[in-house]
């Protein structure tokens, strides 16, 4: 453990917590699956029995948020009520019921010399999660990391510190009561942003991976400062490409859903690309459907000349994640034009093609190099639950380790077990 004089009290506190989390992760990772299920059930029961306390802590955060003039969507994400707490509790039970990933034999084979080799799934270890002021994430992240045999160090957005702190205190109590190591779930004790820097430094090798969730400034800070691996979460600049072979009714329904079902999620479509070969027909119809659904449409010249009610797009529009009822529309030269545009501007999250021509669709599915590529489906399905993977800690736009929804399985790694009978190498 570092005991350098230059270490601040906060840094030392975090070093100690990470060392305890490492120890807890070793215990958790080698326990039987039932012990982790029991712990999650204890957590669900504990939260269920503490609704008034949780609401009291939440009221403090809400009061301060209003004083500080937070905007309405942020206050909404921060707010808990009985129904939302019940949803959080149900989420813990859902995670408990997922198949246990730890110890899965991913592959096994025998070598000619008789060595038996198995690749076995094991927990990642200690996971640092840096996220927004969303109290539900505090519990979701704790449940997912525990289920997969990991310890977690949480750093929620400062506006949710009272609520998240209360939730973590309850989780730790439940762990202790279930004879599980309470140090497996830890929340940084201060809103001081220096804590983020300490987590990114790896805390003496006791943080194995960082999961950052948040806006561009967090992502940039993480990419600059992280000394440990990161499961990346960039923004979602998601595209829908409407091929000339598309069924126009399906195209309208999917584009409107992909954009407007919920505009604030990372899987919401931000750009719609229209095949030039059908632009005269598709641009006005799709633009009209979007505008009628309450969406602002910013078009390139080829779109503006074909539909009414559009606003001219600028270069900035192709690289902007709106998270709002706004979309940018561009006319492209068939699937190759779509591939070209997407490979230049996509953030690698999710893209969808609407087409009846299977050959064109397969080309898109093969050549687009994003975490999720879809054919004739709404980008709003980019979600761990919708994929049938259970809860998720986020959607990774990075290329290594985990891509797409990050659930229990993605919070594991593997090791090789080699069983011999005294083999030596020639």
Q: Which residues bind its own copies (CB under 8 A)?
A: 26, 29-30, 109, 111, 115, 117, 122, 124-125, 208-209, 223-224, 227, 229-231, 247, 250, 253-254, 257-258, 261, 343, 361, 365-367, 369-378, 380-381, 386-388, 398-401, 403-404, 413-425
Cα–Cα nearest to 156, from 182, 180, 113, 188: 188
173/285 with CB nearer its own copies:
285
Nearer to its own copies, 78 or 238 (CB): 238
| Shortest distance, position 376 Cβ to its own copies, whole Å | 4
Q: In 78-161, at which residue ranges do the beta strands (DSSP E only) sit? A: 105-110, 116-123, 126-130, 151-155
Q: Edge-to-edge strands of the sheet including 311-312? A: 311-312, 296-299, 326-332, 269-275, 238-242, 350-354
Q: Whole-angstrom Cα distance, residue 173 to residue 74? A: 29
Minimum CB separation from its own copies for residue 250, in Å? 4
Residues 208, 213, 219: CA angle, nearest 5 degrees: 85
Nearest residue (CB) to its own copies, 75 versus 373: 373
Task: State the nearest-atom distance from the C-beta of 115 to its own copies, in Å.
Answer: 6
Q: What are the φ/ψ torsions at residue 243 (nearest 5 degrees)?
A: -75, 155
Distance CA 128, CA 196 (A): 10
> Smallest distance from the beta carbon of 249 to its own copies, in angstroms?
8
**Residues across the chain:** 426
Asked if 217 and 234 touch (Cβ cutoff 8 Å), the reply is: no
Contact between 357 and 243 under an 8 Å Cβ cutoff? The reply is: yes
DSSP secondary structure letter of residue 337:
H
Q: Give SS3 for 378.
A: coil
Residue whose CB is less far from its own copies, 6 or 424: 424
Minimum CB distance to its own copies, residue 246 (Å): 10
- Choose between 82 and 204: whose C-beta lies nearer to its own copies: 204
Least distance between its own copies and beta carbon 232 (Å)? 8
Choice between 26 and 38, CB closer to its own copies: 26
Kindly tell me which of 51 and 229 has the beta carbon lying closer to its own copies. Answer: 229
Beta carbon of residue 52, minimum distance to its own copies (angstroms, whole number): 33
Residue 5: CB atoms within 10 A of its CB come to 4
Which CB sits closer to its own copies, 341 or 403? Answer: 403
Residue 56 CB, shortest distance to its own copies, in Å, is 34
Phi, psi of 231 (to 5 degrees): -95, 105
CA distance 53 to 123: 33
Residue 422, classified by CB atoms within 10 Å of its CB into exposed (0-12), middle (13-18) or buried (19+), is: exposed
């Amino acid at each position: 453990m570092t005991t350098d004089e230059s270490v601040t009290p906060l840094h030392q506190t975090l070093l100690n917590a990470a060392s305890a989390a490492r120890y807890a992760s070793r215990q958790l990772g080698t326990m039987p699956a039932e012990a982790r299920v029991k712990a999650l059930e204890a957590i669900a029961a504990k939260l269920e029995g503490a609704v008034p306390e949780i609401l009291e802590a939440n009221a403090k955060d809400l009061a301060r948020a209003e004083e500080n003039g937070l905007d309405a969507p942020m206050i909404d994400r921060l707010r808990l009520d009985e129904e939302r707490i019940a949803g959080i509790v149900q989420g813990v039970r859902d995670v408990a019921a997922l198949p246990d990933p730890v110890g899965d034999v991913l592959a096994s084979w025998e070598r000619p010399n008789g060595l038996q080799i198995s690749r076995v799934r094991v927990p990642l270890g200690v996971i640092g999660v840096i996220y927004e002021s969303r109290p539900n994430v505090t519990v979701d992240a704790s449940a997912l990391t525990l289920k997969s045999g990991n310890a977690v160090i949480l750093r929620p957005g400062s506006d949710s510190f009272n609520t998240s702190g209360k939730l973590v205190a309850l989780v730790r109590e439940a762990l202790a009561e279930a004879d599980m190591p309470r140090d497996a779930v830890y929340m940084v004790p201060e809103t001081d942003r220096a804590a983020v820097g300490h987590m990114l430094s790896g805390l003496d090798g006791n943080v194995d991976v960082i999961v950052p969730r948040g806006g561009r400034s967090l992502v940039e800070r993480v990419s600059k400062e992280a000394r440990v691996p990161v499961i990346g979460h960039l923004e979602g600049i998601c595209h829908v490409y409407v091929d000339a072979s598309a069924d126009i009714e399906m195209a309208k329904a999917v584009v409107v859903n992909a954009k407007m079902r919920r505009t604030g999620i990372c899987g919401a479509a931000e750009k719609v690309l229209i095949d030039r070969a059908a632009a005269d027909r598709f641009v006005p119809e799709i633009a009209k459907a979007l505008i009628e659904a309450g969406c602002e449409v910013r078009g390139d010249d080829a779109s503006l000349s074909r539909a009414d009610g559009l606003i001219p797009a600028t270069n900035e529009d192709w690289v902007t994640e709106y998270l709002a009822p706004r979309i940018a529309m561009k006319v492209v030269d068939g699937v190759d034009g779509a591939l070209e545009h997407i490979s230049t501007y996509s953030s690698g999250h999710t893209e969808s093609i609407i087409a009846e021509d299977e050959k064109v669709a397969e080309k898109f599915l093969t050549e687009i190099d994003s975490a999720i590529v879809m054919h004739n489906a709404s980008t709003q399905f980019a979600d761990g639950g919708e994929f049938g993977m259970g809860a998720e800690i986020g959607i990774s736009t990075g290329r290594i380790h985990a891509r797409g929804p990050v659930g229990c399985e993605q919070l594991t790694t593997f090791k090789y077990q080699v069983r011999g009978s005294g083999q030596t190498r020639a």
